[in-house]
Structure 1
């Protein structure tokens, strides 16, 4: 179904809208008389260094994501844009002299290609761009056709406009999501107009299921691939169904980049109408790939509601981004690729040059090089393009430890002719840079193979009885970038909470569970910080009257952890002791700490006296302490203290954290728990974590 893009009310109010947008300083300027024959152009602004490209990006023009060592591509909507470049001292070369004419030519090429071939070289045989409905229908068909290997997936949140966001999970016994296999996540269309990004993701699903490639059996057996072809479903459906204009003007909905949210900062006159028919046109919404919380609020994202790179009203504010955060946080995603167009790039963190390289730079760079050898893209850190903040893998890597990449597909534009931008780039055919080298198809196979490599993730091993569930969990409070304000000043970072948790089904024997490292990668100089408030004072933990029965009886007491602006706690330490030796052969108290939702966040269940449990970056709120009289507690009752430490100084290798592992039975009763430290490439044998006697 095609959607009508510009209704009569919008046409009648166009001049008013343009005037209004100009009045609020829109970063992607409304159309102005062009420097040559009133034609919208793409120009390459000469900028040889990363600093120069970042400076161009900060001018507030319509900067594309195409850049290399010579410069950065910018859409010039008219004389005003050209004057802004000129005033800043920049020179440029015209790359596309008439965008509207180029778009018409691309459409003609697509029609001719689809008419000339029955099937393409793609694994699906597809010859034209899909619609959102076609993506959803094909995923449903694959699930029906391969019920053992394909599990339909609907992400937790509907879109801004209430649409479901669909994907599929591909592996043997796909319905058993708690199988402990390493996970590769492949995504498309964070940016609505970047149609090839979705096509490439979908084609790899066909490859795994129908290509007959000899590697498929091993991949289906030993790892799980999750494909979400369209993250920004609202924006994509509008862009894909729009009447072609191709000049990036205000009402060129085909070139819509953002989602359909309406910022609280949007002037009232631009809040009416629908996402595909309103006075602000395609400029209303949030850029999903500037909204992730990890670096949110820093350089390379706009504070202006109408900019194509508007960061959103807060870190992680958009439902589409919350979807991906929850998916990654709950599935131990070892590797991910977020597909975009265009620039022939394989990008990895960091996205801000001042951050410095990641602690895993050597392995990270090599994995990128392995993929780039097949698509012949440049393998560079994201900041090599220009500084950006709020991107996908700059949240996922620093917070989960999983390796994430951005692919900028092709060099021809956001949705170039299907034959070149999809068929040739995916299959490695001329004129793609990866012609004869395998293209993106082979690049995806390479990262899928790396996902299974134990050196890329961590492994927890042991045994677990049937009808049990093992769960690992971490909860911590993260911080955004220092937040750039609309007036250009820089404010304090904001805090956000991440909860990483996933489960494994106990089957009555040995298990091997692929997880991300417990040691969280920390941005150099960002985890270490000067405290902005004192630490919460130490306080005793009340011991309820009486003593629970020896042999496993429990008693509970509540404590409260406070946070900013009053206190800045980098670590909380729970210390529990009793009169007696260390270790004490006659008395054994164990302690478990739960958050307000009942999730266990720390434990102290050894033979030591005192027992000590700790958590980093504790989330403010109420907590419950469970004291278990494992043995002999009636002879020596416990005392407890809750104390706090300041944030740690800057480190570059990561912060040592533990996975909190619990084992529960079918009724949800906790049978045992462990605190586990496991680094990348390391395997830890935890024995039987469901057996309380194994300490």
Structure 2
């Protein structure tokens, strides 16, 4: 059986609330008093499993997410992985028309093996190859202790950081600023921000983040020329644990090993309680409550940029619940405030798992970023070191409200997500942390691992071609500030019944300051015009598109459930420049055919598996070579199909023509403004403002 898009839509409408797995069914029945999703069954066939759902297109993967199942963040061109906790979750997939293959047959058994591996590694190894020498996952208190130790050991290179807002439970969110002269925040340097644990159960994300802090400080102290250049010319900020409340619950939980609703080790979200939470699931603490780990908001679906769109749950209980409003959570708002008050020219948000480097856009309908070529080039270069797949985030599935989508489209700073490791949220430490960071595991590709990828990212944060500069002169003890306030829209806000409501508008205030010692200054900033309004990437054709191809239908009709194949050739330069290939197939009867297109590399590039006639498959930027079309007699076909492949040129660049400006001001110690002007500067440009503290008419 193949995925049936229209039957899935009918199923989603029937569920209405879009809840997580069996919990959707639970809350639909007054006879059941508690959440059931995640509750393991008693039979051998009801083990908690990781499965890969057959979903070869982005649209199909989005529909899997819309079912409210627990995603692993692991997906590729053939499908998406989710956790199935019980038979109710399996039935949800079946009724939606999906098929799947089992990737991890018994998640509980796998977790037990990983715990044993961790204990064995810590017992046999006194000091790992990591910069810290750690041999086991840290507790939250150990993160705080290690950051205090680094601050005490390297006082001139570090500045302890507490983010502006506390967590839902009132905990401060701690970090560390690392650079020469770290206490001078208004130094004009570009900033590289490294974040961990937006999702509580993703422990390797925090470990990799803190290890890079250790690495840079030790390397600088050892006289490493590369580290000295980077810390002399840029600022590193690490925030190992963004989701402090959730992480403390996950890391401190007694493992049940059954991945049930009340196995808090697998908590993903923060500790907020949605205003939509039913009364029977209120009360209790974050680590012990009637809804278990299902309460809370997914912080990486809560950022205002494109909030409310696809790839996030509308239900309070969903593992990807977006929150009650854009930026509603104090933790995501704290990160937003930090980025807004620093010149963050490069940001990486670390997660697990999938061995991926993801770049904007996170939603396909947004369109490719105007910086697509540079973003892709950087991601590809890092992937050569850690062995990950570099791609745009939307190529997996839509993800609205993510960190990098807000930070890039609204502030202009480059932003990425790293999905660390191939096989678990916090698998064996030796592989997921030691191996992935140093590049010594097979999965890490044998390069420099995440260590080298982070180093290259920090070099990119410092490289003038990827951001902007303001250069001028100012007297001592004057503060030069560039700032701007602007309003941006969310996505049209998706509702539980599949309808949408109007976009919500949110305001951002961005500020970068430089404290002058007198004389010439240089401020590293992001472009004055937001990528959101600047335009979208495109290219001009270098040749005409290819002529239309008529597909050859093999003789005969395969039996129901059977299939047949035909091929077609796509040309490349200099003969043709194809921006899109569109495969259209129709048939004369009421039966149903499904069609799948495989590219020259053997990977699925598109499918037509709906109830539509004709089926239409669009392939963007098709590479030259031979493609295979597989036609499956899904249900009762007796007549022949016919089809063609048509081609069109690439989409041209879209330039809005809109220019936004920074407001540059010069103030004294009392805050009195001595001069003010607007500054327009593009990516890779420098603007010279002369004597910034002298009003223009006096120059």
Q: Give the TM-score category using the shorter length.
A: 0.7 to 0.9
For the pair 1:313 / 2:324, whether they are aligned, the reply is: yes
Q: 2:144 aligns with which of 122, 128, 136?
A: 136
Whole-Å separation in 2 of the counterparts to 1:251 and 1:27: 10
For the pair 1:468 / 2:478, whether they are aligned, the reply is: yes
The equivalent of 1:12 in structure 2 is none
For 1:314-329, list aligned pairs within 5 A: 314-329=325-340
> Which digits, 9 at most, give the CA deviation of each residue in 1:392-424, with x for residues without a partner?
011000100000000000111000000000000
Deviation (angstroms), 1:186? 0.1
Q: 2:455 aligns with which of 445, 451, 460?
A: 445
The equivalent of 2:466 in structure 1 is 456
For 1:484-563, list aligned pairs within 5 A: 484-522=494-532
The equivalent of 1:420 in structure 2 is 431
Gaps of 5+ in 1: 1-15, 527-649
Whole-Å separation in 2 of the counterparts to 1:391 and 1:315: 11
Whole-Å separation in 1 of the counterparts to 2:278 and 2:384: 48
The equivalent of 2:668 in structure 1 is 665
With over 3 angstroms needed to count, the CA separation of the structure-2 counterparts of 1:310 and 1:664, relative to structure 1, is same
Gaps of 5+ in 2: 1-21, 537-652
Deviation (angstroms), 1:46? 1.7
Whole-Å separation in 1 of the counterparts to 2:689 and 2:106: 64
Q: 2:268 aligns with which of 257, 260, 264?
A: 257
With over 3 angstroms needed to count, the CA separation of the structure-2 counterparts of 1:65 and 1:109, relative to structure 1, is same
Whole-Å separation in 1 of the counterparts to 2:420 and 2:426: 10
Whole-Å separation in 1 of the counterparts to 2:363 and 2:96: 22
Q: 1:83 aligns with which of 76, 88, 91?
A: 91
Whole-Å separation in 1 of the counterparts to 2:341 and 2:23: 43
Whole-Å separation in 2 of the counterparts to 1:694 and 1:28: 73
Deviation (angstroms), 1:20? 5.9
Contact 2:23 2:35 in 1 (8 A): no
Contact 2:533 2:658 in 1 (8 A): no
Contact 2:26 2:35 in 1 (8 A): no
Whole-Å separation in 2 of the counterparts to 1:423 and 1:30: 31
> Which digits, 9 at most, give the CA deviation of each residue in 1:654-693, with x for residues without a partner?
7410000000111111110110000000001000110114
The equivalent of 1:214 in structure 2 is 225
Contact 2:40 2:258 in 1 (8 A): no
- The worse-fitting range, judged by mean Cα deviation, of 204-213 and 446-455 is 204-213
Contact 2:69 2:319 in 1 (8 A): no
Whole-Å separation in 1 of the counterparts to 2:236 and 2:27: 43
With over 3 angstroms needed to count, the CA separation of the structure-2 counterparts of 1:311 and 1:18, relative to structure 1, is closer
> Which digits, 9 at most, give the CA deviation of each residue in 1:316-356, with x for residues without a partner?
00000110100000101000000000000000110111111
For 1:281-320, list aligned pairs within 5 A: 281-320=292-331
Number of aligned residues? 556
Moved over 4 A (4+): 16-28, 523-526, 650-654
The equivalent of 1:63 in structure 2 is 71
Instruction: Name the SS of the counterpart of 2:182 in structure 1.
Output: coil
Instruction: Name the SS of the counterpart of 1:424 in structure 2.
Output: helix
Whole-Å separation in 2 of the counterparts to 1:364 and 1:525: 15
The equivalent of 1:369 in structure 2 is 380
For 1:562-581, list aligned pairs within 5 A: none
Deviation (angstroms), 1:83? 1.7
With over 3 angstroms needed to count, the CA separation of the structure-2 counterparts of 1:319 and 1:471, relative to structure 1, is same
The equivalent of 1:201 in structure 2 is 209
Deviation (angstroms), 1:176? 0.1
Contact 1:359 1:653 in 2 (8 A): no
Q: 2:251 aligns with which of 218, 240, 260?
A: 240
The equivalent of 2:241 in structure 1 is 230
Q: 2:345 aligns with which of 314, 334, 342?
A: 334
Deviation (angstroms), 1:87? 2.2
RMSD value over aligned CA atoms? 2.1
TM-score scaled by length of structure 2: 0.77
The equivalent of 1:683 in structure 2 is 686
Whole-Å separation in 2 of the counterparts to 1:228 and 1:192: 14
Deviation (angstroms), 1:62? 1.7
Deviation (angstroms), 1:88? 2.3
